[in-house]
Each structure stands twice: as structure tokens, then as C-alpha cells.
Amino acid sequence: MLVTNIHDSSDVIIMKTRAEIKQAFRAKYEKLRSSFWGIGPLESNRLSRIGDIYVCDLGQNGRAAFVMYENGNVVEVHGGIYEFWEQKGGANGELGLPVSDEADYHGSDARPGDRVSEFENGVIVWRADTGQKEVRTYLWHDEFDGYSIDKSKWSFDIGTGNNGWGNNEKEYYTDRPENAYVKDGILHIHAQKESYNGADYTSARMVTKGKFAFKYGTVEARIALPSGKGIWPAFWMLGENIGPVGWPACGEIDIIEAINDENVVYGTNHWSCKGNHAQYGKSTKDFYGTKRDLDITQFHTYKMVWSKDLISMYVDDFKYHEISIKDNAGGTDAFHKPFFLLLNVAVGGNWPGFDIDDSQFPNEMLVDYIRIWE
């Protein structure tokens, strides 16, 4: 372990989740920087897990800072240089951190007993049961670790759409920082009560259309959802060919939807079958007789696994939706073409209804990361 004399009792951080680490890191870093001459301004706080430390890539002068990991808790912040963690495995991640429980969960469907290390564009897993090493390189990912939303990855839908985006929603979507911003390594999609361009509410709807789309793979995201009467957050996908063929022929995959204050997560597929709208979905309150109670306002790990045969959805490894698309079953050929991503928080609409509790605002969706691999 790297030990220095630059920390004191006030530097101690007690937390378990990666999101909590990211939220606390910037404030702790500034104190660290003022005490340790070698560290320059924080340009990026992309956290990687190498061995039993988190590595923060500072992007200047080869300097780094470490958050020490011990028995499931982050306990100290230290300073150091890249050479230290490179000698300990670096981007190859040869040490790996054992996975013990949800607090240790950091991607790639790791299970207790596995060892995991992250690198810039993927993750390495050593399987406890087989001893095999799996290297997964991301097709696309966003850790939301900068100072602003990455416009090379995301754009915004603006306005009220047609008939409230087809759902009679009551918000006006903007690209303003008041409605979508990155802070402490977390994306915030912020719904507000305000009069704006004829609407009574504002929010944001972010899309990767024209920037990234894919066919088949695993999508994983760590997200905390808003809850309240009339609120409707979603993490979902639309077929890249929506322009020429329209909806629902393009297909829609709703990985996460929640409405009102139900504390239920829904997964749904929409498509066109013989010219008619078809849909199929399940939820955490009823997946063939099983259910999962959860507080959706807390961070959970959501995952969709999409193959040529099945689309399956999970929250913290609990399956809440699955549909067969094998051989275009039920006219599901739309799900064998590329899709792009969307994140939004709607206010009111046909599904949640129009009885909106204005006392909840501002209300927001928080996104720690989104990662996609084959």
C-alpha cells in the first residue's frame, strides 16, 4: 500500500457504492491537492479499480490519487503517481478486486467470489468457479466523469413533440444545464415546475441518435429514479430506422420505466405485427409469480441482455422481463436491427395520468454510468 502523511481524520470517507465514491471524490481531492504539491487541477475523475484501490486518472503530469478500499468501505484518500498502480497491474488489472456483495458490484455481471478490474474501455473478470479470465471491451460507455455532458455521445430532443411526444406529456424538453448536467461523476436529468415556452414543466430527453447505435449485446447502467405523482422516468431504446419506417415499425425497447410513486420497474417491447401495434412487458412486481421489492430512488444496477434469440432485463440480477425474438417470433424482426439509446424524465402523460404533485419538484433521475459490450 502507498502510505503518505497528507491525510488526517477528516479525510476518512465511509461509503460503499461507486456512485458515492464519485460524489465525494471532488471535494476530497481539492483538499488533497492543497496539501500535496505534485497534483495539478482535476481534469477527469474517471475511477478505475485496480487491486484494492480506486485509481483516479487526473490527466496531468502523470499524477494520480488513490481511494483505499478495505472490508467494503472506502477509508482514506492518498496521493501518488501513475507508476505505483502500473507496477501493481495497471490497465491489465492483474490483481483484481474480489467481489463479495452488491457493494462490490462494478459491472460485467460479476458474481461473489469473482475478481474484477476495470480499464478505460472495458472490464476484466476472473471467474471464481472456473478460474478463467474474461476480458470485455465496451462497444460504448459513458461514466459521466467530466465537467459536462459529452456532446460527442449525446444530443437532446427539444420541445413538446407531437401531442406531448405521442403520450400527452406536459413537460417541455430543453438542452439547458438547468435540466441536464454532470456533477461529481453523476448525470442529473432534472424535471422542474416552471412556465417555459407554453409548458408548465421542463425536463430533458437525451439521445444517442446519429452518434451511436448497436445490435445485440449487454447494456448495464447504475441508475437512481425519481418517484412522485405524475413523474415518468425512462431508460430506453428506439430503432435507428425510425425516420423512414416510423413508430412502432422501428421497434422500441423500454429497459426501465417507472410511474408515479409505485416503486415498480417495468420492462416492455413495442413493435409492429402485421401492421398493428404489438407490445409485451413484465415488471418487478410480477415476473411469472416472482417479484422484487425495491426503493427505486436508490441506485440499482439495471441490465439488458440482447441476443438473436432473447431480450432479457434485470435489476440487481433479478429478472423482470424477457421476450423471445428467435426467428422473428410474433413479427419481432424489428429487434434484429440497430437501436439507439434514450434517457428522459417525463411529467404527466397517458400512463402516469395527469394528477401531478407539484410539491415533488425539482425531481431528478441520477445516472452513474452506462456500459455496453458484446
Catalytic residues: 252, 257
CA-to-CA distance for 249 and 265, rounded, in angstroms? 25
- Reduced to 3 DSSP states, what percent helix, strand and coil does the chain have, rounded to the nearest 5? 15, 45, 40
Which residues does residue 313 pair with via DSSP β-bridges, in sequence order?
304, 321
- Inter-residue contact 21 to 74 (CB < 8 Å): yes
DSSP states along 264-309: --EEEEEEEETTEEEEEEEETTBBTTB-----TTS-EEEEEEE-SS
Task: For strands 180-183 and 205-207, give the pairing.
Answer: unpaired
Amino acid at site 278: A
Which residues does residue 283 pair with via DSSP β-bridges, in sequence order?
266, 286
DSSP states along 162-194: TTIIIII--EEE--STTTEEEETTEEEEEEEEE
| Among 315, 342, 343, CA closest to 188 | 343
CA-to-CA distance for 267 and 304, rounded, in angstroms? 10
CA-to-CA distance for 151 and 156, rounded, in angstroms? 9
CA-to-CA distance for 280 and 259, rounded, in angstroms? 17
Which residues does residue 188 pair with via DSSP β-bridges, in sequence order?
181, 366
Q: How many CA atoms lie within 13 A of 335 on its CB side?
A: 30
Residue 347 phi/psi, 5° resolution? -125, 120
**Residue whose entry in the numeric block shows the C-alpha cell 425497447:** 253
Task: For strands 186-196 and 217-224, give the pairing.
Answer: unpaired
Q: Which three cell numbers stand for residue 223?
A: 441508475
- Inter-residue contact 188 to 153 (CB < 8 Å): no
**Residue whose entry in the numeric block shows the C-alpha cell 452488491:** 102
